[in-house]
Amino acid sequence: MSAATPHPTEHRFIEPLDVLFLRGNKLFGDPGSHGESLVPPWPSAAAGALRSHLLAQDGTDLAAFAKGQITHPSLGTPAAPGPFALTDFTLARQLDDGSLQTLHALPADLVVTDKDGDAKHIQSLRPQTPHTGLLSSSGFAQVPVLAETERRKATSGLWLSQTGWQRYLNGQLPNAEHDLVKTSELWAIDSRVGIGLNADTRSADDGKLFTTQAVAFKPRVGFVASVRGATLPAQGSLRLGGDGRAASSQSVDHQAPQADLHAIATQGRCRVVLTTPGLFAQGWLPNGFQLEADGHHWLTLQGVRARLVCATVPRSETISGWDLAANNGKGQPKAALRSAPSGSVYWLDQLQATPEALGKLADNGFWSDACEDTHRRAEGFNRFAFAAYDCI
Protein backbone atom coordinates (compact mmCIF):
# COMPACT_ATOMS: atom_id res chain seq x y z
CA MET A 1 0.00 0.00 0.00
CA SER A 2 1.04 3.64 0.00
CA ALA A 3 3.77 4.96 2.26
CA ALA A 4 2.88 6.14 5.74
CA THR A 5 1.55 9.68 6.02
CA PRO A 6 1.49 12.07 9.01
CA HIS A 7 -2.27 11.49 9.24
CA PRO A 8 -3.45 7.87 8.87
CA THR A 9 -6.78 7.21 7.20
CA GLU A 10 -9.70 7.95 9.52
CA HIS A 11 -13.26 6.69 9.14
CA ARG A 12 -16.48 8.43 10.15
CA PHE A 13 -20.00 7.04 10.19
CA ILE A 14 -22.36 9.84 9.17
CA GLU A 15 -25.95 9.25 10.29
CA PRO A 16 -28.72 11.67 9.30
CA LEU A 17 -30.71 13.12 12.20
CA ASP A 18 -33.34 14.65 9.92
CA VAL A 19 -34.57 14.20 6.38
CA LEU A 20 -31.91 15.17 3.83
CA PHE A 21 -32.23 17.18 0.63
CA LEU A 22 -29.49 15.60 -1.49
CA ARG A 23 -29.81 17.66 -4.62
CA GLY A 24 -28.22 16.67 -7.88
CA ASN A 25 -27.55 18.90 -10.87
CA LYS A 26 -31.12 19.54 -12.02
CA LEU A 27 -32.59 23.00 -11.58
CA PHE A 28 -35.84 23.37 -9.67
CA GLY A 29 -37.90 26.17 -8.19
CA ASP A 30 -39.88 27.17 -11.28
CA PRO A 31 -43.65 26.65 -11.13
CA GLY A 32 -44.45 22.94 -11.39
CA SER A 33 -40.81 21.82 -11.24
CA HIS A 34 -39.63 18.76 -9.33
CA GLY A 35 -36.36 18.57 -7.39
CA GLU A 36 -35.01 15.01 -7.26
CA SER A 37 -32.66 13.76 -4.56
CA LEU A 38 -29.47 11.85 -5.30
CA VAL A 39 -28.53 8.90 -3.04
CA PRO A 40 -25.73 8.60 -2.29
CA PRO A 41 -24.83 12.25 -2.88
CA TRP A 42 -21.63 13.28 -4.60
CA PRO A 43 -18.59 12.76 -2.36
CA SER A 44 -18.05 16.52 -2.41
CA ALA A 45 -21.10 16.88 -0.12
CA ALA A 46 -19.42 14.78 2.57
CA ALA A 47 -16.03 16.41 2.01
CA GLY A 48 -17.56 19.87 2.44
CA ALA A 49 -19.44 18.90 5.60
CA LEU A 50 -16.37 17.31 7.20
CA ARG A 51 -14.10 20.22 6.29
CA SER A 52 -16.58 22.76 7.68
CA HIS A 53 -16.80 20.73 10.89
CA LEU A 54 -13.00 20.64 11.15
CA LEU A 55 -12.72 24.40 10.67
CA ALA A 56 -15.38 25.06 13.29
CA GLN A 57 -13.78 22.62 15.74
CA ASP A 58 -10.40 24.35 15.34
CA GLY A 59 -11.96 27.79 15.91
CA THR A 60 -10.88 29.03 12.49
CA ASP A 61 -12.06 32.46 11.36
CA LEU A 62 -14.27 31.28 8.49
CA ALA A 63 -14.45 34.68 6.78
CA ALA A 64 -10.66 35.03 6.79
CA PHE A 65 -10.26 31.44 5.58
CA ALA A 66 -12.69 32.02 2.70
CA LYS A 67 -10.63 35.03 1.61
CA GLY A 68 -7.41 33.00 1.69
CA GLN A 69 -5.96 34.98 4.59
CA ILE A 70 -5.52 31.89 6.78
CA THR A 71 -3.77 28.63 5.90
CA HIS A 72 -5.13 25.58 7.68
CA PRO A 73 -2.52 22.82 8.25
CA SER A 74 -4.80 20.11 6.79
CA LEU A 75 -7.11 22.05 4.48
CA GLY A 76 -4.64 24.61 3.11
CA THR A 77 -6.51 27.51 1.54
CA PRO A 78 -9.49 27.60 -0.84
CA ALA A 79 -7.10 28.31 -3.72
CA ALA A 80 -4.45 25.74 -2.71
CA PRO A 81 -5.94 22.71 -0.92
CA GLY A 82 -3.85 20.96 1.74
CA PRO A 83 -3.31 17.22 2.31
CA PHE A 84 -6.96 16.54 3.26
CA ALA A 85 -8.50 14.01 0.85
CA LEU A 86 -11.71 11.99 0.95
CA THR A 87 -10.59 8.50 -0.14
CA ASP A 88 -13.87 6.60 0.14
CA PHE A 89 -17.54 7.44 0.55
CA THR A 90 -20.31 4.89 0.47
CA LEU A 91 -23.73 4.03 1.85
CA ALA A 92 -23.61 2.03 5.10
CA ARG A 93 -25.69 0.83 8.01
CA GLN A 94 -24.75 0.05 11.58
CA LEU A 95 -25.54 -3.47 12.78
CA ASP A 96 -26.69 -4.54 16.25
CA ASP A 97 -23.13 -5.32 17.36
CA GLY A 98 -21.98 -1.80 16.40
CA SER A 99 -20.07 -2.90 13.30
CA LEU A 100 -20.64 -1.31 9.90
CA GLN A 101 -22.00 -2.96 6.79
CA THR A 102 -21.22 -1.03 3.63
CA LEU A 103 -23.75 -1.02 0.79
CA HIS A 104 -22.74 -0.58 -2.82
CA ALA A 105 -24.53 0.34 -6.04
CA LEU A 106 -24.55 -2.47 -8.58
CA PRO A 107 -21.52 -2.25 -10.91
CA ALA A 108 -22.34 -1.74 -14.57
CA ASP A 109 -21.30 -5.30 -15.47
CA LEU A 110 -23.84 -6.92 -13.12
CA VAL A 111 -27.44 -7.40 -14.23
CA VAL A 112 -30.17 -8.45 -11.80
CA THR A 113 -33.40 -9.84 -13.25
CA ASP A 114 -36.63 -11.14 -11.74
CA LYS A 115 -36.95 -14.90 -11.62
CA ASP A 116 -39.89 -16.59 -9.89
CA GLY A 117 -41.97 -14.48 -7.52
CA ASP A 118 -39.61 -12.27 -5.52
CA ALA A 119 -36.55 -14.35 -6.44
CA LYS A 120 -33.71 -12.61 -8.26
CA HIS A 121 -31.15 -13.80 -10.77
CA ILE A 122 -27.68 -12.23 -11.11
CA GLN A 123 -25.60 -12.36 -14.29
CA SER A 124 -22.43 -10.62 -15.39
CA LEU A 125 -21.27 -9.09 -18.64
CA ARG A 126 -18.09 -10.62 -20.05
CA PRO A 127 -15.70 -9.41 -22.75
CA GLN A 128 -16.28 -11.28 -26.00
CA THR A 129 -14.95 -10.95 -29.53
CA PRO A 130 -18.03 -10.27 -31.69
CA HIS A 131 -18.79 -12.33 -34.77
CA THR A 132 -17.16 -10.99 -37.92
CA GLY A 133 -20.60 -10.28 -39.38
CA LEU A 134 -21.50 -7.89 -36.56
CA LEU A 135 -20.56 -4.23 -36.80
CA SER A 136 -20.50 -1.69 -34.00
CA SER A 137 -19.08 1.72 -33.18
CA SER A 138 -16.85 0.26 -30.45
CA GLY A 139 -13.15 0.94 -30.85
CA PHE A 140 -12.21 -2.27 -29.05
CA ALA A 141 -11.69 -5.79 -30.36
CA GLN A 142 -13.92 -7.10 -27.57
CA VAL A 143 -17.25 -5.88 -26.21
CA PRO A 144 -19.03 -6.68 -22.92
CA VAL A 145 -21.74 -9.26 -23.65
CA LEU A 146 -24.60 -10.57 -21.53
CA ALA A 147 -25.21 -14.18 -22.62
CA GLU A 148 -28.84 -15.18 -22.01
CA THR A 149 -30.86 -18.20 -23.01
CA GLU A 150 -34.14 -16.36 -22.49
CA ARG A 151 -35.20 -12.74 -22.37
CA ARG A 152 -35.63 -11.24 -18.91
CA LYS A 153 -36.41 -7.78 -17.61
CA ALA A 154 -33.75 -6.11 -15.49
CA THR A 155 -34.82 -4.92 -12.05
CA SER A 156 -33.60 -1.93 -10.05
CA GLY A 157 -33.74 -0.52 -6.52
CA LEU A 158 -31.18 -3.00 -5.17
CA TRP A 159 -27.83 -2.62 -3.41
CA LEU A 160 -24.96 -5.01 -2.85
CA SER A 161 -24.18 -5.86 0.76
CA GLN A 162 -20.58 -5.73 1.94
CA THR A 163 -20.35 -9.52 1.62
CA GLY A 164 -21.69 -9.36 -1.92
CA TRP A 165 -19.23 -6.58 -2.81
CA GLN A 166 -16.34 -8.70 -1.49
CA ARG A 167 -17.53 -11.65 -3.58
CA TYR A 168 -17.66 -9.41 -6.63
CA LEU A 169 -14.12 -8.10 -6.06
CA ASN A 170 -12.92 -11.70 -5.69
CA GLY A 171 -14.39 -12.64 -9.07
CA GLN A 172 -17.48 -14.43 -7.79
CA LEU A 173 -21.11 -13.67 -8.56
CA PRO A 174 -22.92 -12.28 -5.50
CA ASN A 175 -25.58 -14.48 -3.94
CA ALA A 176 -28.97 -13.28 -5.21
CA GLU A 177 -30.75 -14.46 -2.05
CA HIS A 178 -28.41 -13.07 0.61
CA ASP A 179 -26.30 -10.29 -0.94
CA LEU A 180 -28.99 -7.94 -2.29
CA VAL A 181 -30.62 -5.23 -0.17
CA LYS A 182 -33.76 -3.38 -1.23
CA THR A 183 -33.81 0.40 -1.24
CA SER A 184 -37.02 0.29 0.81
CA GLU A 185 -35.01 -1.23 3.70
CA LEU A 186 -32.67 1.78 3.73
CA TRP A 187 -34.69 4.94 3.14
CA ALA A 188 -38.00 6.37 1.92
CA ILE A 189 -38.74 9.40 -0.24
CA ASP A 190 -40.78 12.18 1.37
CA SER A 191 -42.05 14.70 -1.19
CA ARG A 192 -42.18 18.28 0.08
CA VAL A 193 -44.06 21.21 -1.47
CA GLY A 194 -42.24 24.52 -1.74
CA ILE A 195 -43.44 28.02 -2.55
CA GLY A 196 -41.42 30.45 -4.64
CA LEU A 197 -40.65 33.80 -3.02
CA ASN A 198 -40.72 37.25 -4.53
CA ALA A 199 -37.13 38.52 -4.35
CA ASP A 200 -38.26 42.11 -3.75
CA THR A 201 -40.97 41.62 -1.12
CA ARG A 202 -39.68 38.32 0.34
CA SER A 203 -43.26 37.09 0.30
CA ALA A 204 -44.87 34.13 -1.46
CA ASP A 205 -45.42 34.53 -5.19
CA ASP A 206 -48.72 33.44 -6.69
CA GLY A 207 -48.65 30.22 -8.71
CA LYS A 208 -45.07 29.28 -7.83
CA LEU A 209 -45.49 25.86 -6.28
CA PHE A 210 -42.80 23.22 -6.73
CA THR A 211 -41.91 19.90 -5.10
CA THR A 212 -38.64 18.53 -3.79
CA GLN A 213 -37.67 15.08 -2.61
CA ALA A 214 -36.58 14.68 1.00
CA VAL A 215 -34.80 11.43 1.88
CA ALA A 216 -35.88 9.87 5.18
CA PHE A 217 -33.25 7.33 6.18
CA LYS A 218 -34.09 4.31 8.30
CA PRO A 219 -32.53 4.20 11.80
CA ARG A 220 -28.77 3.47 11.79
CA VAL A 221 -28.53 3.93 8.02
CA GLY A 222 -26.12 6.55 6.73
CA PHE A 223 -22.71 6.83 5.09
CA VAL A 224 -19.14 5.89 5.89
CA ALA A 225 -16.50 8.42 4.85
CA SER A 226 -12.76 7.73 4.85
CA VAL A 227 -10.36 10.68 5.06
CA ARG A 228 -6.59 10.93 4.76
CA GLY A 229 -4.43 13.94 5.55
CA ALA A 230 -6.35 15.34 8.52
CA THR A 231 -7.19 14.61 12.13
CA LEU A 232 -10.97 14.89 12.32
CA PRO A 233 -13.07 15.47 15.45
CA ALA A 234 -13.94 12.06 16.93
CA GLN A 235 -17.62 12.96 16.98
CA GLY A 236 -19.93 15.87 16.40
CA SER A 237 -22.76 17.26 14.30
CA LEU A 238 -22.59 18.12 10.61
CA ARG A 239 -24.64 20.24 8.24
CA LEU A 240 -25.29 17.92 5.31
CA GLY A 241 -26.98 18.50 1.97
CA GLY A 242 -29.46 21.19 0.98
CA ASP A 243 -30.70 23.46 3.80
CA GLY A 244 -27.87 22.16 6.02
CA ARG A 245 -29.88 19.38 7.68
CA ALA A 246 -28.34 17.78 10.77
CA ALA A 247 -26.29 14.59 10.74
CA SER A 248 -24.07 13.02 13.38
CA SER A 249 -20.46 12.03 12.77
CA GLN A 250 -18.66 9.45 14.88
CA SER A 251 -15.30 7.71 14.60
CA VAL A 252 -15.54 4.02 13.64
CA ASP A 253 -13.22 1.14 12.87
CA HIS A 254 -13.63 0.18 9.26
CA GLN A 255 -11.75 -2.00 6.81
CA ALA A 256 -12.96 -1.54 3.25
CA PRO A 257 -13.24 -4.76 1.21
CA GLN A 258 -10.58 -5.17 -1.43
CA ALA A 259 -9.46 -7.71 -4.01
CA ASP A 260 -6.39 -9.93 -3.66
CA LEU A 261 -3.78 -7.66 -5.25
CA HIS A 262 -1.13 -10.41 -5.21
CA ALA A 263 -3.42 -12.68 -7.24
CA ILE A 264 -4.22 -9.86 -9.68
CA ALA A 265 -0.52 -9.07 -10.18
CA THR A 266 0.19 -12.76 -10.79
CA GLN A 267 -2.70 -13.25 -13.23
CA GLY A 268 -1.78 -10.09 -15.15
CA ARG A 269 -5.34 -8.91 -15.70
CA CYS A 270 -8.19 -7.34 -13.72
CA ARG A 271 -11.24 -5.12 -13.70
CA VAL A 272 -11.32 -1.54 -12.45
CA VAL A 273 -14.63 -0.35 -10.94
CA LEU A 274 -15.29 3.33 -10.21
CA THR A 275 -16.54 3.79 -6.65
CA THR A 276 -17.05 7.56 -7.03
CA PRO A 277 -17.79 9.58 -10.20
CA GLY A 278 -14.81 10.01 -12.51
CA LEU A 279 -13.89 13.50 -13.71
CA PHE A 280 -11.51 12.67 -16.54
CA ALA A 281 -9.83 14.87 -19.13
CA GLN A 282 -10.78 12.33 -21.83
CA GLY A 283 -14.42 11.98 -20.85
CA TRP A 284 -15.20 8.33 -20.13
CA LEU A 285 -11.52 7.30 -20.26
CA PRO A 286 -9.72 7.54 -16.89
CA ASN A 287 -6.64 9.68 -16.42
CA GLY A 288 -3.45 7.78 -17.23
CA PHE A 289 -4.76 6.07 -20.39
CA GLN A 290 -3.30 6.99 -23.76
CA LEU A 291 -3.92 5.69 -27.28
CA GLU A 292 -0.59 4.29 -28.48
CA ALA A 293 0.82 3.35 -31.87
CA ASP A 294 -0.49 -0.24 -31.67
CA GLY A 295 -4.06 1.10 -31.67
CA HIS A 296 -4.74 0.16 -28.03
CA HIS A 297 -5.34 2.32 -24.99
CA TRP A 298 -2.63 1.74 -22.39
CA LEU A 299 -2.64 2.74 -18.73
CA THR A 300 0.65 4.12 -17.44
CA LEU A 301 0.22 5.53 -13.95
CA GLN A 302 1.89 5.15 -10.53
CA GLY A 303 4.08 2.25 -11.69
CA VAL A 304 1.17 0.35 -13.25
CA ARG A 305 0.97 -0.46 -16.95
CA ALA A 306 -1.90 -2.35 -18.58
CA ARG A 307 -3.92 -2.54 -21.79
CA LEU A 308 -7.60 -1.60 -21.87
CA VAL A 309 -9.62 -4.50 -23.30
CA CYS A 310 -13.12 -3.02 -23.17
CA ALA A 311 -15.41 -1.09 -20.86
CA THR A 312 -19.02 -0.67 -19.84
CA VAL A 313 -19.75 2.93 -18.89
CA PRO A 314 -23.32 4.16 -18.27
CA ARG A 315 -24.53 7.49 -19.63
CA SER A 316 -22.45 10.41 -18.40
CA GLU A 317 -23.60 12.55 -15.49
CA THR A 318 -23.02 16.24 -14.81
CA ILE A 319 -21.21 17.21 -11.62
CA SER A 320 -21.29 20.76 -10.27
CA GLY A 321 -21.99 22.16 -6.80
CA TRP A 322 -21.68 25.39 -4.85
CA ASP A 323 -18.36 26.87 -3.75
CA LEU A 324 -18.98 28.59 -0.40
CA ALA A 325 -15.50 30.11 -0.18
CA ALA A 326 -15.38 31.56 -3.69
CA ASN A 327 -15.86 35.22 -4.49
CA ASN A 328 -14.43 36.35 -1.13
CA GLY A 329 -16.83 34.18 0.82
CA LYS A 330 -19.94 35.20 -1.12
CA GLY A 331 -19.99 31.88 -2.95
CA GLN A 332 -20.59 30.94 -6.56
CA PRO A 333 -21.51 27.85 -8.60
CA LYS A 334 -18.79 25.36 -9.37
CA ALA A 335 -18.07 24.56 -13.01
CA ALA A 336 -20.37 21.88 -14.44
CA LEU A 337 -18.31 18.87 -15.53
CA ARG A 338 -19.22 15.66 -17.34
CA SER A 339 -18.38 12.54 -15.34
CA ALA A 340 -18.13 8.80 -15.81
CA PRO A 341 -20.70 7.45 -13.30
CA SER A 342 -19.88 5.35 -10.26
CA GLY A 343 -20.03 1.66 -11.14
CA SER A 344 -18.35 2.06 -14.53
CA VAL A 345 -16.20 -1.00 -15.27
CA TYR A 346 -12.96 -1.28 -17.27
CA TRP A 347 -11.29 -4.60 -18.18
CA LEU A 348 -7.48 -4.60 -18.28
CA ASP A 349 -5.01 -7.24 -19.46
CA GLN A 350 -1.24 -7.45 -20.04
CA LEU A 351 -0.92 -5.97 -16.57
CA GLN A 352 2.60 -5.14 -15.44
CA ALA A 353 2.65 -4.12 -11.78
CA THR A 354 3.62 -5.25 -8.32
CA PRO A 355 0.98 -5.64 -5.60
CA GLU A 356 2.50 -2.58 -3.92
CA ALA A 357 2.10 -0.49 -7.09
CA LEU A 358 -1.52 -1.63 -7.43
CA GLY A 359 -2.16 -0.65 -3.81
CA LYS A 360 -0.59 2.76 -4.33
CA LEU A 361 -2.72 3.42 -7.41
CA ALA A 362 -5.87 2.37 -5.56
CA ASP A 363 -4.92 4.67 -2.67
CA ASN A 364 -4.36 7.67 -4.94
CA GLY A 365 -7.21 7.12 -7.40
CA PHE A 366 -7.03 8.13 -11.05
CA TRP A 367 -4.91 11.23 -10.44
CA SER A 368 -1.43 11.88 -11.80
CA ASP A 369 1.42 13.13 -9.60
CA ALA A 370 0.90 16.62 -11.02
CA CYS A 371 -2.86 16.22 -10.29
CA GLU A 372 -5.37 17.40 -12.86
CA ASP A 373 -7.63 19.07 -10.25
CA THR A 374 -6.52 19.36 -6.62
CA HIS A 375 -9.94 20.58 -5.48
CA ARG A 376 -11.85 17.63 -6.94
CA ARG A 377 -9.20 15.18 -5.69
CA ALA A 378 -9.74 16.46 -2.13
CA GLU A 379 -13.50 16.00 -2.63
CA GLY A 380 -13.14 12.28 -3.34
CA PHE A 381 -13.68 11.97 -7.08
CA ASN A 382 -11.88 9.45 -9.37
CA ARG A 383 -11.79 6.69 -6.75
CA PHE A 384 -11.97 3.04 -7.77
CA ALA A 385 -11.52 -0.56 -6.66
CA PHE A 386 -9.63 -3.40 -8.33
CA ALA A 387 -11.53 -6.63 -8.99
CA ALA A 388 -10.64 -10.01 -10.48
CA TYR A 389 -10.97 -10.10 -14.28
CA ASP A 390 -13.78 -12.66 -14.46
CA CYS A 391 -16.99 -12.68 -12.44
CA ILE A 392 -18.28 -16.26 -12.42
Domain of residue 335, CATH code: 2.60.40
For residue 290, the cross-strand partners are 298
Partnered with residue 34 across adjacent β-strands are 211
Query: pLDDT at position 2, please?
Result: 39
DSSP 42: P
Could you give the number of structural domains in the chain?
Answer: 2
Whether residue 242 is contained in a domain is answered as yes
Structural domain contains residue 278: yes
Residue 160 near residue 185, CB atoms below 8 Å: no
4 is a domain residue:
no
**In-domain check, residue 315:** yes
Domain that holds residue 51: 10-251
Mark whether 151 and 44 lie in a shared domain.
Answer: yes
Please give the Cα distance from 14 to 86 (Å, whole number).
Answer: 14
List the chain residues with pLDDT less than 70: 1-6, 25-35
Model pLDDT, residue 100: 93
pTM for the complete prediction?
Answer: 0.91
Q: For all residues of the chain together, what is the average pLDDT?
A: 91
Nearest residue to 186 via CA among 226, 141, 218: 218
* Of residues 316, 360, 370, the one with CA closest to residue 87: 360
pLDDT at position 4 is 40
User: How many whole angstroms separate alpha carbon 214 and alpha carbon 37?
Assistant: 7
Torsion-angle region of 32 (φ positive above 0: left; ψ -120 to 50: alpha; else: beta): left
> What length does the chain have?
392
Residue 5 within a domain: no
Residues 181 and 228 in one domain: yes
Residue 327: the pLDDT is 82
Same structural domain, 145 and 278 = no
Predicted pLDDT at 134: 81
Quote the distance between the C-alpha of residue 39 and its chain's center.
10
275 and 238 within one domain: no
Q: Residue 185: count other Cβ atoms within 10 Å of its Cβ.
A: 11
Q: Give the residue from 341, 313, 343, 378 showing the smallest Cα distance to 51.
A: 378
pLDDT in tens, 9-33: 999 999 999 999 887 766 555 554 5
Of the residues 204, 233, 251, the one at which a domain ends = 251
For every residue of 357-380, DSSP letters joined together read HHHHHHHH-S--SS-S-HHHHHTT
Is 381 found in the same domain as 269? yes
- For position 5, what pLDDT does the model report? 46
Domain boundary among 251, 277, 302: 251
Q: Give the CA angle between residues 67, 241, 164 to the nearest 5°.
A: 125
Please give the radius of gyration of the chain, using alpha carbons only, rounded to the nearest integer.
22
Tell the burial category of 278 from Cβ atoms under 10 Å away from its Cβ (0-12, 13-18, 19+).
buried
The pLDDT of residue 304: 98
**Co-location of 192 and 231 in the same domain:** yes
User: Can you give the pLDDT at residue 3?
Assistant: 40
Task: For 150-211, give the DSSP string.
Answer: S---B--SEEEEHHHHHHHHTT-PPPTTTSEEEGGGTEEEEEEEEEEE-TTT-SEEEEEEEE
pLDDT at res. 322: 86
